[in-house]
Amino acid sequence: MILHELLSYETLRVIWWVLLGVLLIGLAATDGFDMGVAALIPFVGKSDTERRVVINTVGPVWEGNQVWLILGGGAIFAAWPILYAVSFSGFYLAMFIVLASLILRPVGFKYRNKREGFAWRTRWDWALVIGGAVPALIFGVAVGNVLQGVPFSLQDNMMAIYPGNFLLKLLGLLNPFALFVGVVSLAMHVSHGASWLVLKTEGAVQARARRIGTYAGLLAIACFLLAGVWLAFGIEGYRYVSEPDHFGPSNPLLSEVVRGGSWIDAYATRPWIIIAPIMGVVGLAGQVLLMRLWSGWSVVAGKVGIFGIISTVGLTMFPFILPSSLNPDASLTVWDSSSSHMTLFIMLVCTIIFLPMILAYTSWVYKVLWGKVTPEEVSSNPNAY
C-alpha cells in the first residue's frame, strides 16, 4: 500500500498512457512484419516453393505476435474504459473489417497446403495478402481519423452518440487525410516485412524483397513527412481552455476544450518531442540502407522507425487520446478517461509481473527459431506450411 500511495493518480494515468503506446508499438513491431510479409507473398514468391519459403519465415511466430493485439485491447478495456466504449463504437465498421481480415490469416495458413492445385493455393495466397495488407491500412486510417477528431458526443451518463447513417459513417472514415495516413502505415509495414524476408531468405526471394522493401521504405518516409506538413497546415488541433485537473474524476464533460491552432503547436511548448519524428525518419532510412548491408540491423532499424512514427502521434496529441469533432468538450484525454486510481495500480502490478514473462518467452522463441528458411528445408520438413 505504500507504493500505492507514492504513485499518485496523475502519475498512474501517465504511466498507462505510456504503456498503451508500448503495446501499440509492440503490435506494429512484431505482428507488423507478419502483416508486411503476408502482403508480399505473390510479389516476392513466383513459384509455389518460393511462396512456401515466404510463408514459413513467419509461420512459427505469427500467432504469438498477435498477443500484442489482445494485450492492447485488454489494456484499453481495463485502463481506459470510456476510450474503449467510444472508440470501439465509433470504429465498429473498421474493427469488423480488421477482424474479418485477420481471420483469413489462420485459415490461409492452415488450408493452403491441404491441396496441391495451383488455383487452390493461389486463392489462399491472396487471402493471406488481404489478411496482411488490410489491417495495416485500416490501422493507419483509424489514426488519421483520430488526428482529425472523431464525430461523437457524450451524454451526461457518458453514453457516446454517433449521428448519421451507415453510409455517412463509412464515407466519413474514408476521408483523404485518413487514407493518406493509411498509406504511411501500409508502406511502413510492407517495408518492415521486406526487411524480415531479407534477413530470413536467400536468392531470388531475398532480392525481390530487398527491391520492394526499398521502394516501400522510401514511400513511407515521403508520406510520413507529407502527412506532417498536411497536419501542420490543414488539420486543426485541440487544446484546453484552462489547465485541467490531473487528479480529477474521469468525466470529460467537466473540462472545456476548444479547436484551434495546430497539433504542431505542441513542438513549441515541448520541443524535446521532435526526437520522435526524427527517430521515425532515421529508422526507416536506416532500414532501407541496411537492407543492402546488414540485414539483421535492418530489422532493428525498422523497429526504431516504427517506434518513432507511433510515438510522434502520441506525443504530438498529448494529453488528448480521442478528440471529438462534434463537441470538443467531450474529447477524451489522459486526465479524464481512465479507470480509478486503485484499478490502475493493480493493473500496473500485474503488468510488472507478466510483461517481462511475455518478453522473455518471445525472445526465447525467436532465438530457437533463428536462421534462414530455404527451399530445401520447406520441401523436406513435414511440419512446414
Backbone dihedral region of 261: left (phi > 0), alpha (psi from -120 to 50 degrees) or beta?
A: left
**Residue 2: its pLDDT value, please?**
59
**Residue 289: its pLDDT value, please?**
93
Among 190, 330, 183, 161, CA closest to 254: 330
What is the C-alpha to C-alpha distance for residues 45 and 55, in angstroms, rounded to an integer? 10
Which of the residues in the chain have pLDDT under 70?
1-5, 164-171
**Residue 112: its pLDDT value, please?**
87
3-state secondary structure of 238: strand
DSSP string for residues in 356-372: HHHHHHHHHHHHHT-S-
Among 22, 32, 26, CA closest to 185: 32
Domain boundaries, the chain: 2-378
Q: How many helices (H) and strands (E) does the chain have?
A: 16, 6
Amino acid letter, 257: V
**Residue 55: its pLDDT value, please?**
92
Q: How far is CA 134 from the centre of its chain?
A: 12
**Residue 225: its pLDDT value, please?**
96
Q: How far is CA 193 from CA 202, 217, 287, in A?
A: 15, 10, 11
- By CB neighbour count within 10 A (0-12 exposed, 13-18 middle, 19+ buried), where does 362 fall? middle
- Write down the residue that cell numbers 518492415 correspond to: 192
**Residue 218: its pLDDT value, please?**
96
What residues form DSSP beta bridges with 257?
240
Q: Which residues contact 55 (CB under 8 A, 6 or more apart)?
A: 41, 109, 112, 128, 385
Contact indicator for 373, 384 with CB cutoff of 8 Å: no
Q: How far is CA 22 from CA 267, 271, 351, in A?
A: 22, 22, 12
**Residue 5: its pLDDT value, please?**
64
